[in-house]
Structure 1
Amino acid sequence: MRFEYPIVFPLNQITYVGEDDSQFFTEVHGRRFNALSQRYMLPADEEEIRRSELQHRMLQFLFGGKNYVGPVPQVLIPQDGRERCRVLDLGTGGGCWAIDMADEFPEAEVIGVDLAPIQPREVPENCTFELCDLDQWYLPYPSGHFDVIHARSMHTGIENYTRLLHEIARMLRPGGLVILIEPDSEPIADGKSATELTRCGQPSGMRGWFALWEAYRQCLRDKGVDVNVPPELANLVATTGAFDKIVSQEGNIPIGFWPKDPVALSIGQLAWMNYDIMLPALKPLFLSAGMRDWEAKKLIEEAHQDLYYPLVRPSARLHIVHAFKKA
Structure 2
Amino acid sequence: MLATANPTTPPTGSPTPADTAGVERAEGPITIDPALEEGPETQSEAETGSILSSSNASLSESIYEYRRIQGRTYTQKVDYWGPNDERQNEGLEIKDKLFLSPIGDNPQRVLDLGTGTGIWAIDFADEFPSAEVFGVDVSPIQPKWVPTNCKFQIDDIEQPWTWPDNYFHFIHIRNLEGCISNWTDLYKQAFKCMAPGGCIEVKEHDIELRSQIQELDDEHAFKSFSGNLLEACGRLGKVGLQCRDHGIAKSLKAAGFVDIVERKWPIPVGAWANDLVLKQVGSGALEFLDKSVEGFGIFLLKEVLGWEMAEILVLSSEFRKALKNFRTQPVFDLHIVYARKPETPMETA
Q: Could you tell me the TM-score, scaled by structure 2's length?
A: 0.78
Q: How does 1:104-183 map to 2 (within 5 A)?
A: 104-136=127-159, 138-183=160-205
Q: How does 1:230-249 map to 2 (within 5 A)?
A: 230-231=243-244, 232-240=247-255, 242-249=256-263
Q: CA deviation at 1:22?
A: 3.4
Deviations 1:170-202 (A, max 9, x none): 11000001010011112211256xxxx3xxxx6
* Aligned equivalent of 1:63: none
Deviations 1:119-146 (A, max 9, x none): 010000100000101122x112111111
What one-letter code is carried by the residue in structure 2 that aligns with 1:4? Answer: S
In structure 2, how many angstroms separate the alpha carbons of the residues matched to 1:74 and 1:245? 19
Comparing both structures, which one devotes a greater share of its residues to strand?
Answer: 1
- Contact 2:217 2:223 survives alignment (8 Å): no
Q: How does 1:1-327 map to 2 (within 5 A)?
A: 2-5=56-59, 16-17=60-61, 22-23=64-65, 25-35=66-76, 37-59=77-99, 67-69=100-102, 72-74=103-105, 76=107, 85-136=108-159, 138-191=160-213, 197=215, 203=217, 207-231=220-244, 232-240=247-255, 242-281=256-295, 282-289=297-304, 290-327=306-343
Q: CA deviation at 1:30?
A: 2.4
Q: CA deviation at 1:257?
A: 1.6
What one-letter code is carried by the residue in structure 2 that aligns with 1:207? Answer: H
Q: Could you tell me the TM-score, scaled by structure 1's length?
A: 0.83
- Contact 1:185 1:213 survives alignment (8 Å): yes
What one-letter code is carried by the residue in structure 2 that aligns with 1:189? Answer: S
What one-letter code is carried by the residue in structure 1 that aligns with 2:165? Answer: S
- Contact 1:89 1:98 survives alignment (8 Å): yes
* Aligned equivalent of 2:36: none
Q: CA deviation at 1:249?
A: 0.4
In structure 2, how many angstroms separate the alpha carbons of the residues matched to 1:284 and 1:225? 14
Q: Which runs of 4+ in 1 moved over 4 A?
A: none
Q: Secondary structure at the match of 1:317?
A: strand
In structure 2, how many angstroms separate the alpha carbons of the residues matched to 1:105 and 1:300? 41
Greater mean alpha carbon deviation, residues 287-296 or residues 312-321: 287-296
Deviations 1:203-259 (A, max 9, x none): 47x82232111111111111111222123111111122x211111100110101210
- Contact 1:113 1:131 survives alignment (8 Å): yes
Deviations 1:91-115 (A, max 9, x none): 0000000000000100010000000
Percentage of identical aligned residues: 29
- Contact 2:177 2:241 survives alignment (8 Å): no
Q: CA RMSD in A?
A: 1.8
Unaligned runs of 5+ in 1: 6-15, 60-66, 77-84
In structure 1, how many angstroms separate the alpha carbons of the residues matched to 2:311 and 2:157? 32
- Contact 1:75 1:176 survives alignment (8 Å): no
